[in-house]
């Protein structure tokens, strides 16, 4: 038996996608997931995603971090699975799917996917940073000279030292242009910097608006893997109608021997 897989990337955030509508993938085999995601001994990816049947949606998204453990919501992974679902013929140019944080909707035009994220009602402001949950927990911190910043070292220190074993994703941000911000992210589960993080990009856009660094409801975010856009509506409680928009591309497909 061999496992057929597809490799997708969204602004450099890369994932192994598997069609598991036949329920053939062993979801308890965390060692297998970690091995497949390994960049030297496996396929190489920031995470693995299963597309499964769902009784009340087009499909269900099951996400694993690169360490093999089940993960929280992944924004770029969500955009990639929408592109994958269209490739499989499950959807047309719109989707409604279930993820670990609930239902999501999305539209797709060419290689561009716009994904509706959950509303955000709790933003915790501290003197040096802001914390919020956009489907995954995110620490957002403004820094100078982002290009030379020690993202892995400082991200690891904050991920464990400030947030304990459960941890948080850590985002370092610097203004880049009008209503545009550059971000570098240390992701828990990957335990390293990734080229892009969808829930992180979303968190950064909302945090910058909350801090008064922009007064616009459409923000561009530059990651090391490319550019994404975040649109939202401010409310008295936080933010609603939050959308993450950007490219999602199939890289290659193959089969994994079992």
- pLDDT tens figures, 6-21: 999 999 999 999 999 9
**Could you confirm whether 258 is annotated as catalytic?**
no
The pLDDT, as a whole number, for residue 10 is 98
Residue 46 in domain: yes
Residue 51 in domain: yes
The pLDDT, as a whole number, for residue 178 is 87
Query: Do 206 and 97 sit in the same domain of this protein?
Result: no
Coil vs helix vs strand at 206: helix
Comparing CA positions, the residue from 227, 256, 223, 250 lying closest to residue 84 is 250
Residue 129 in domain: yes
Q: Which position among 37, 80, 197, 258 bears the catalytic label?
A: 197
**Could you confirm whether 197 is annotated as catalytic?**
yes
Residue 66 in domain: yes
**What residue spans of the chain are helical by DSSP H?**
30-37, 75-87, 151-161, 198-210
User: What pTM value is reported for the model?
Assistant: 0.96
How many domains, in total, are found in the chain? 2
Query: Do 128 and 69 sit in the same domain of this protein?
Result: no
Q: Report the b/e string of 10-21 with b at 16+ CB within 10 A.
A: bbebbbbbbbbe
Residue 83 in domain: yes
- Domain span at residue 27? 2-115+248-252
**What residue spans of 28-149 are helical by DSSP H?**
30-37, 75-87
Query: Do 54 and 154 sit in the same domain of this protein?
Result: no
Query: Do 140 and 230 sit in the same domain of this protein?
Result: yes
Q: What is the pLDDT tens value at each position of the chain, 258 positions in all?
A: 899 999 999 999 999 999 999 999 999 999 999 999 999 999 999 999 999 999 999 999 999 999 999 999 999 999 999 999 999 999 999 999 999 999 999 999 999 999 999 999 999 999 999 999 999 999 999 999 999 999 999 999 999 999 998 999 999 999 999 899 999 999 999 999 999 999 999 999 999 999 999 999 999 999 999 999 999 999 999 999 999 999 999 999 999 998
Residue 127 is part of a domain; what is its CATH number? 3.10.310.10
Query: Do 107 and 127 sit in the same domain of this protein?
Result: no
Query: Do 134 and 231 sit in the same domain of this protein?
Result: yes
Q: Which position among 37, 74, 80, 258 bears the catalytic label?
A: 74
The pLDDT, as a whole number, for residue 1 is 80
Residue 258 in domain: no
């Amino acid at each position: 038996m061999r496992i057929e897989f597809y490799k997708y990337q969204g602004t450099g955030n890369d994932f192994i996608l598997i069609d598991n509508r036949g329920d053939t993938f062993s979801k308890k085999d965390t060692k297998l997931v970690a091995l497949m995601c390994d960049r030297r001994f496996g396929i190489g990816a920031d995470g693995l995603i299963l597309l499964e049947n769902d009784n009340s949606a087009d499909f269900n998204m099951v996400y694993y971090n690169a360490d093999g453990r089940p993960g929280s919501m992944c924004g770029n992974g969500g955009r990639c699975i929408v592109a994958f679902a269209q490739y499989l013929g499950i959807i047309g140019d719109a989707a409604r799917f279930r993820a670990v944080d609930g239902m999501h909707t999305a539209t797709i035009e060419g290689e561009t996917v716009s994904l509706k994220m959950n509303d955000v009602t709790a933003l915790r402001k501290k003197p040096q940073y802001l914390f919020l949950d956009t489907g995954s927990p995110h620490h957002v911190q403004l820094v100078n000279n982002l290009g030379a910043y020690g993202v892995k070292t400082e991200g690891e220190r904050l991920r464990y030292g400030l947030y304990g074993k459960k941890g948080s994703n850590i985002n370092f941000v610097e203004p880049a242009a009008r209503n545009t911000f550059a971000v570098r992210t240390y992701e828990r589960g990957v335990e390293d910097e990734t080229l892009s993080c969808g829930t992180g990009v979303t968190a950064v856009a909302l945090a910058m608006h909350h801090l008064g660094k922009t007064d616009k409801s459409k923000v561009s975010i530059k990651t090391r893997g490319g550019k994404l856009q975040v649109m939202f509506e401010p409310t008295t409680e936080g933010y609603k109608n939050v959308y993450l928009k950007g490219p999602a591309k199939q890289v290659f497909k193959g089969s994994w021997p079992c």
